[in-house]
Amino acid sequence: MTMRLTCTVNGQRREVDGVWEGESLLFVLRERMSLPGSKNACEQGECGSCTVYLDGVAVCACLVAAGQAQGREVVTVEGLAPGDGPEDLDPVQRAFLDAGAVQCGFCTPGLVVAAHDLLRRSPRPGDPEIREALAGNLCRCTGYQKILDAVRLAAERTAVS
């Protein structure tokens, strides 16, 4: 059975018809709402590349059924940036670029959302806390060192002294 899905995505009310309740929120975002930032790698909740906020909680969008998003608020990696221009980046996005933490980039959107979530909760995390927060996000390219650098850099730039 299909449904009309109504939810808020990146601050805008969105309505999509013909959504099967059991299809993933990730599919809805990418294929029905033209928001390809959240990546589809494992579709099993194991890689974190599809991480989005759902009512302010970071979740794997591949594990959320579309029906579960009804009436709720979703923020994707696209929604973190303050504007649409190439220079309009969230500090975490900027830090990933500046620290050289992006190689193929497939893991990056999920890592950015996970790091953003960490810094909201804990503005000055130590390395163990960063590692724990990002443990669900897999990267095949970087060896993680530059990702750690990026999160430290974002923390330095954003933490209120």
Binding residues (CB under 6 A) for ligand FES: these are: 40-43, 45-50, 60, 62, 102-107, 139-142
Smallest distance from the beta carbon of 106 to ligand FES, in angstroms?
Answer: 5
Residue with tokens 């974190």: 48
Task: Report in angstroms how near the CB of residue 49 gets to ligand FES at its nearest.
Answer: 5
SS3 content of the chain, % helix, strand, coil (to 5): 40, 20, 45
Residue 37 vs 48, nearer CB to ligand FES: 48
In the bound state with ligand FES, the residue whose beta carbon lies nearer, of 111 and 119, is 111
> Which of 116, 110, 114 is closest to 89 using CA atoms?
116
Of 10 and 51, which CB lies nearer to ligand FES in the complex structure? 51
